[in-house]
Amino acid sequence: QKEVEQDPGPLSVPEGAIVSLNCTYSNSAFQYFMWYRQYSRKGPELLMYTYSSGNKEDGRFTAQVDKSSKYISLFIRDSQPSDSATYLCAMGLNNDMRFGAGTRLTVKP
């Protein structure tokens, strides 16, 4: 079993849809959780980070962490074509980071 599991997609939605991206993990010791967005031919860009269970909202993005289920989610409201990218989940313990393989999202106008 991989330490971090992420559905690679691809995921295609119409503009304005709510997008749900998910990751599961096996190491209950992970302390912090992040989501990165990666456009084609670019490096990953930090989108959201959180240290605790619950929800964290930033504009159209909401990061959700459920430590008891070892499950994290990223919700995108009112999705836009500019949200089309690969989304990577990441989690860490001290300076040790683990990444999901990424979900490729396409938002169609």
User: Does 29 help bind other proteins (rule: CB under 8 A)?
Assistant: no
Q: Which of 64, 83, 102, 105 binds other proteins (CB under 8 A)?
A: 102
User: Does 100 help bind other proteins (rule: CB under 8 A)?
Assistant: yes
User: Does 66 help bind other proteins (rule: CB under 8 A)?
Assistant: no
User: Does 101 help bind other proteins (rule: CB under 8 A)?
Assistant: yes
Which amino acid is residue 93, in one-letter code? Answer: L
Contact, 94 vs 1, CB < 8 A? no
**Torsion sign, CA atoms 99, 40, 81, 106:** negative
13-21, 42-50, 65-73, 77-85 -> range binding other proteins (CB under 8 A): 42-50
DSSP three-state, residue 81:
helix
**Torsion sign, CA atoms 58, 99, 32, 2:** positive
Rule CB under 8 A: which residues touch other proteins?
Answer: 4, 6, 8, 31-32, 34, 36, 41-46, 49, 88, 90, 92, 94-95, 97-102
